[in-house]
Amino acid sequence: MANPVLVELTRGESVESIHRGAVAIVDSEGRIRAALGDVEQPICPRSSLKPIQALPFVESGAADAFALTDEHVALACASHSGEPMHTERVAQWLEHLGLSQADLACGPHPVRFEPAWHAMIARVEQPTRIHNNCSGKHAGFLTVARHWDIAISGYEDPRHPVQQAVAGVLRDLCGVSDLPSVVDGCAAPNFFVPLAAFARALARLASPEALAPSRARAARRMVSAMVHHPELVSGTGRACSILMRSCSGRAAVKAGAEGVYAAIIPSLGLGAAIKIDDGAGRAAETAIASVLHSMNVLGHDIAAGEILRAPVVNTRGTKVGERRPTEALSDIQIV
């Protein structure tokens, strides 16, 4: 059966577009506390997996061994906008490791933050690998390889010990042994995992008491780094930073490509995962805002409210409709 409609866009009084998807809200023991749609369908978390990919960076002791701060931990979880606050920190981080952007496996792509992009164009500068939104994650991988004194070349290969460690963490957290590996946009491995199992992994980061002490400490530090440095996790004016600011430490959120969103809610000990069927990021943003609102962890600020119910405007700036959660999503109940 088709997944339910989670988000709709109106024009005037009529619904113009709809987005179907699935939502799983799970506790650390794997109990589904709320669900919409097929939550057992495997999905690829894409960049919403980054908090889990960053765990070995902290748990192994690599971050402490190189005297790296929570800002670096936040960048290891980031899909950043390529602003100077991101690129300068990553460049310094790599230099601290005795490396350069040439050692990153990810490729360059245009900067997402328009003022920085326009400034680069004016200077006739081309983006480098450091500008890739995943460069912090890759710097984290390289730090682990340096800490373990193993090869940095090929660190993105699924057979490399760093990636084997990431896969092991994900298997342990989600409770699923069969995780088909695929290649993400930044050349690092990613995985297909049932939506509910991914939500469970997020819940175990939210409530890590049952984890090994070293992993529990790493989980707490990572979540704290995200909620205290939301602009490093995403960027100026981005949905992740707006939502985390609005939640005031009650939740960490992370977007992924193709309509995926993840939330770690320590205040409730829950994890939430969303997948929009058609891959629309705009719908995933509204859906996660609605889930956070239903949990009473989202604030009442204007910026977050405009993600929950986003105005649709024309070229003159006149509101002509809105993007909003459907009743099915708004009425979701946590049991």
Q: What is the pLDDT of residues 283-329, one digit of tens each?
A: 999 999 999 999 999 999 999 999 999 999 999 999 999 999 999 99
52-111 pLDDT, tens digit each: 999 999 999 999 999 999 999 999 999 999 999 999 999 999 999 999 999 999 999 889
Rounded Cα distance, 79 and 86, in Å: 10
- Take residue 83 and report the two structure tokens written for it: 């602003």
Segments in 234-314 forming alpha helices (H): 239-247, 281-294, 302-308
Looking at the chain, the whole-number percentage of residues with pLDDT higher than 70 is: 100
What's the pTM? 0.96
- Please tell me the predicted confidence (pLDDT) of residue 216: 98
278 occurs within a structural domain: yes
In a domain, 203, yes or no: yes
206 inside domain: yes
pLDDT for residue 226 is more than 90: yes
β-strand pairing of 193-194 with 189-191: unpaired
Could you tell me if residue 212 is inside a domain?
Answer: yes
Rg of the Cα atoms in the chain: 19
Listed in sequence order, the residues at least 6 apart from 45 whose beta carbon sits closer than 8 Å to its beta carbon are: 190, 191, 193, 198, 256, 260, 262, 273
pLDDT reading at 185 higher than 80: yes
- Please indicate, yes or no, if residue 197 is contained in any of the structural domains: yes
Strand 42-43 and strand 193-194: the pairing is antiparallel
Range of the domain at 114: 5-330
pLDDT, residue 207, reads 97
- pLDDT beyond 90 at 7: yes
In-domain check, residue 105: yes
- Domain-located, residue 153: yes
Q: What is the mean pLDDT of residues 178-198?
A: 97
189-216 average pLDDT score: 97
pLDDT of res. 1: 72
Number of domains in the chain: 1
Residues 116-156 have pLDDT tens digits of 999 989 999 999 999 999 999 999 999 999 999 999 999 99
What CATH number did the domain enclosing 261 receive? 3.40.710
pLDDT of 14 strictly over 80: yes
pLDDT band at 172 (very low <50, low <70, confident <90, very high): very high
Q: Smallest Cα–Cα separation from 218: which of 325, 108, 112, 60?
A: 60
Residue 335, in any domain of the structure: no
